[in-house]
Chains A and B, each alone.
Chain A
Amino acid sequence: MVVQTAAASMAEESDEADGFAAAIRRETPRLLAIAHSILDDAAAAEDAVQESLLLAWRSWDRLRDPSRRQAWMVRICVRHALRTRRLRLARMRHEADTATDVAELPAHLADSPVDWPSAWRAFSPSQRAVLTLHYHHGYTLDESAAAMGCRPGTARRHLHRALEKLRREVEA
């Protein structure tokens, strides 16, 4: 009886583990892109995604609806990135990031009245999150707010302020 229980448990574990392994291989690049967008720091993004995935693993077997796992992982990652405190170590500049960002900017963006890399760094993490989720990943503002763990009105306010900043820079 005990042996059967253990075997059945192991089989379920194996299925869950296989599902998790496939999920992290599929989702990690996207989660890295989102975290990098919010944190603007490759090392911090790497840490945030790793920690998010470990958090996801902790509750992986409790989320019975596999179709919700993708959105769930994004939500964990976004919230984790937003919670990442601005530690001193996170303030270290990663020159490669900056260099790549500027050097390979498409021509029409390089000629834009907006200095995009600088403008992006001037956004708050919450503003970066709502811009990324809403404008790039197609989330509605309500969905963005849910992913960020804030009220829809707050997400709208973040978006409004971010666009105001951009507008001022274009006008300047």
Chain B
Amino acid sequence: MNIERSHLHDYLAHREEMAARLTVADRVVRNVEARTLDRAPGGVGRGRMLLVVATVAVLLLAGIGVPRLLLAHHHSSGQWQPAGPPQGVPDRRPPAGIALVWVRDPASFQRAIALDRNGRPMGWLPVGYMMQGETVTQSGDGQRIITGDGQSYELTAQGQRIDLPPTALDLGGGAYEPYDVFFSDDEQSVCIEQGPWGTPRNLVLVDGSGHVSTSIPEAPADNPSWLSWHVVTCSVRNDVAVLVGDPDAQRAAGPQPPPTQTTTHLPNGQNVSSIGVGGSVSAPKNVQVPAGGPYHIIRVVRLSTGREIARRVYGAQTPQPVDASEDGTLVLETLGTGGGHVLRNIASGAVVGTVGPATGLLGNTVAQNDVWTGSGPRSYSVVDIPSGRVLWSLSAPLGLKVTYPALDQLAVTQVYQGLDCPSHADVTITDLAGGVTHRVTLDTCGGG
């Protein structure tokens, strides 16, 4: 047996042993039990099942018959009311000009439902294939969604299809390896990380008409063989993209020279260079980064030209960049195990605030001093940057997915998927002010 296969067996066994040491198994079991064992399989609570049984009995006794019941609820400020689309509702375009939140139609995986900000279904849009994901990738205002089977395309809320350049690697035989595709902050441009991981790939910006407006290499000009980059922010409004380099994947891809110089070009024309000591930007000077690593590097480039406008290098034992804000001005750095994060202005190097551990940035709010943060998929907060004070927060139930459809709005979506019966969609839409929460539950079990 080849050494790589023999060691592969051993490494997989090692990984399983490491995974067994994760202390989360009990927590997972407890969480799942809490969500399931007081309910009947299929997701209907016991109390609700009894209610359904009693209702059916009453209907039978009354001789009304048992039409196929679809239960849907609309919750607004504590009041549950019947709502939701009836079975077999025809395709319908949503009204133009209103902000929308899209979810997959639980009654048909080939349609998406548009909800307004109050959680009311406003439109049913056929997408032309079986949607796989739980959530729909949408622009902030919901006027466009990205969809497609294999190669993706845009659909406007009015059903107009806009083709995109390649969004996946065609593996042949109907199989695709998808690239990362997401909307920029102007609500209509699409950013595509085009190319397989570990190859020279480009960040492609597509305008609202589906035309490529710019295509820039992800690798830095001074080290084009450094291929392991993730785009964390793609802001058309500010003409910047933020990329984070992954040193581990870089090493796995083969030995590559480290960057020989780390320079931050400040807006005032001053150039400063840095090495990752505390993640700070040092005084202007050229610094040779020693061989070895690993290094985490964050680069800010102009979307329109690809020109690098800032770069920060973080050493192995120093704070590391984990995220960047929507507008490309802030970077979130770890402070070490359990120590939380600092928010740093990329250009100036100044620390502008701190947030707790296991937190990520979701975006900047309309008030520039505030920032959305998320702690895993469970808790979302608006934080006042200077003070670190939490202004408002939402504890989302376990396992929910979050979309961020607008700066002043948060949508939490989950579509439950059974083996044969798509059964349940659950959407919570919460305004930033935190005063109003709309929840829509669409229960159905119909054909696709």
Contact = CB atoms under 8 A, between A and B. Distances in A.
A49 B28 contact: yes
Contact of A36 (B22, B40, B360): B22
Contacts of B399: 47, 50-51, 54
A63 B419 CA distance: 9
Contacts of A154: 171, 173, 175
Interface in B322-359: 322-323, 334, 336-337, 358
Q: Is the interface of A mostly helix, strand, loop or mixed?
A: helix
B41 A61 contact: yes
Given A59-B419, A116-B7, A91 B244 contact: yes
Interface string A1-42: 110011001100100110011001100110011001100001
Contacts of B97: none
Given A9-B53, A135-B5, A116 B11 contact: yes
Given A33-B16, A57-B32, A151-B174, A166 B8 contact: yes
A24 B29 contact: yes
Contacts of A169: 4, 252, 254
Given A88-B360, A101-B18, A32 B28 contact: yes
Given A93-B322, A100-B21, A115-B251, A61 B4 contact: no
A61 B252 contact: no
B98 interface: no
Given A47-B377, A88-B361, A92-B322, A57 B22 contact: no
Interface stretch (B43-51, B154-162, B281-289): B43-51
B92 interface: no
Contacts of A45: 19, 22, 24
Interface residues of B, number: 88
A150 interface: yes
B32 A50 contact: yes
Given A32-B19, A55-B416, A91-B244, A37 B12 contact: yes
Interface residues of A, number: 85
Interface in A101-120: 101, 104-106, 108-109, 112-120
B239 interface: no
Given A37-B19, A60-B42, A112-B3, A91 B322 contact: yes
Contacts, number: 246
Interface string B46-76: 1001100110010000000000000000000
B35 A54 contact: yes
A125 B9 CA distance: 18
Contacts of B5: 135, 163
Interface in B256-292: none
Contacts of A72: 419
B323 A58 contact: no
Q: Which 7 A-B pairs have the closest CB atoms?
A: A122-B252, A118-B252, A61-B41, A59-B418, A136-B12, A33-B19, A60-B41
Interface of A: 1-2, 5-6, 9-10, 13, 16-17, 20-21, 24-25, 28-29, 32-33, 36-37, 42-43, 45-47, 49-51, 53-55, 57-63, 72, 83, 85-86, 88-89, 91-93, 95-96, 98, 100-101, 104-106, 108-109, 112-122, 124, 126, 131-132, 135-136, 150-151, 153-154, 157, 163, 166-170, 172
Interface of B: 2-5, 7-16, 18-22, 24-25, 27-29, 31-33, 35-37, 39-43, 46, 49-50, 53-54, 57, 132-134, 171-175, 177, 180, 196-198, 230, 232, 244, 246, 248-249, 251-255, 320, 322-323, 334, 336-337, 358, 360-362, 374, 376-377, 398-399, 416-421, 423-424
6 contacts: A32-B24, A53-B28, A59-B421, A91-B323, A120-B11, A157-B175
